[in-house]
Amino acid sequence: MRRFFVWAHRGASALAPENTLAAFQAAEAAGADGLELDVHLSHDGVPVVLHDETLDRTSDGRGPVAELVLEELQRLDAGSWFSAAFAGEKIPTLQEVLCRGGRQLRFNVEIKDSAAGKAVLGLSRSYPQASIVLSSFDHDLLYQLRRRAPQLPLAFLWEQPDWAAAVERAAACTAESFNPRFDFLSAELVAACHQRGLAVYPWTVDTFARLQHCWQLGVDGVFCNDPKQLLAWLKDLDQGRASSKF
């Protein structure tokens, strides 16, 4: 099969509550190449894995993540909102995820709050055996990280139609990839990135039609919520079996 990298977006978040160990384990079992996860800081400065600034949507907690210390955060239920089968699932720390990576998965750690940058960088250095790329929409933060760590793998996130200047910034920062929202993916964007040595991983790709479009444009991989389904579709594409039923 043509090399095509499958990032599990917040883990296998179609199958288990996003950004939990259950979602990451499901992604690994499905055969994903890498895990995408989001990081905020607890009140006591610990990088914890959660997408939103607040606890309301994906736990039984309320209010900003940054107002609770780790001990308080880990008493919350981060699974019942998704399904009763996941009742009691905890908000993991970044350290817990890196420790339980299983086979050689890559970790795409999205830094949601610039204040978390230094802590995440320090933790990543404590796990030299882990394959980690740090990503963010905050490109100034990525430049700061580059100055601190010249060899650190970085990824520029983007969700605007005017991508040209951002691609130039990513190349100047020696990022390894440019990760655009699917809506703004184009042949011109892919060509511009590849000319500058940047891989392209659009998000989020959860239909066959979207995957087929990405495949035809020659992207290097995608972010998806259901890696098991996407890998089955990839096999069909690689063998030339495109079907409109999807």
> Domain holding 30: CATH number?
3.20.20.190
- Pick the catalytic residue from 51, 139, 194, 213: 51
Whether 80 maps to a domain, the answer reads no
Whether 63 maps to a domain, the answer reads no
Q: Please report the pLDDT score of residue 245 as a whole number.
A: 41
Q: Please report the pLDDT score of residue 244 as a whole number.
A: 44
Q: Which two tokens stand for residue 28?
A: 């690994």
Tokens 């309301």: give the residue.
56
- Give Cβ neighbours of residue 141 (< 8 Å, ≥ 6 apart): 111, 114, 117
H/E run at residue 211: helix 208-217
Whether 181 maps to a domain, the answer reads yes
CB atoms within 10 A of CB 132: 21
3-state secondary structure of 119: helix
Q: Please report the pLDDT score of residue 239 as a whole number.
A: 85
Long-range contacts of 120-128 (CB under 8 A, 24+ apart): 120/39, 120/47, 120/94, 121/145, 121/148, 121/149, 121/152, 123/47, 123/94, 123/95, 123/98, 124/152, 125/149, 127/98, 127/99
Whether 84 maps to a domain, the answer reads no
Instruction: Round the CA-based radius of gyration of the chain to a whole number and report it.
Output: 18
Q: Are 49 and 24 in contact (CB under 8 A)?
A: no
Whether 110 maps to a domain, the answer reads yes
Written as tens digits, the pLDDT of the chain (246 aa) is 678 999 999 999 999 999 999 999 999 999 999 999 999 999 999 999 999 999 999 999 999 999 999 999 999 999 999 999 999 999 999 999 998 765 689 999 999 988 999 999 999 999 988 999 999 999 999 999 999 999 999 999 999 999 999 999 999 999 999 999 999 999 999 999 999 999 999 999 999 999 999 999 999 999 999 999 999 999 999 888 665 444
Whether 16 maps to a domain, the answer reads yes
Specify the amino acid at residue 46: V
**Domain carrying residue 110:** 5-55+94-238
Whether 24 maps to a domain, the answer reads yes
3-state secondary structure of 5: strand
Q: Is 139 a catalytic residue?
A: no
Distance (Å, whole) CA 108 – CA 36: 5
H/E run at residue 8: strand 5-9
Quote the number of domains for the chain.
1
Whether 191 maps to a domain, the answer reads yes
Q: Please report the pLDDT score of residue 240 as a whole number.
A: 82
Q: Is 51 a catalytic residue?
A: yes
Q: Are 160 and 184 in contact (CB under 8 A)?
A: yes
pTM summary value: 0.95
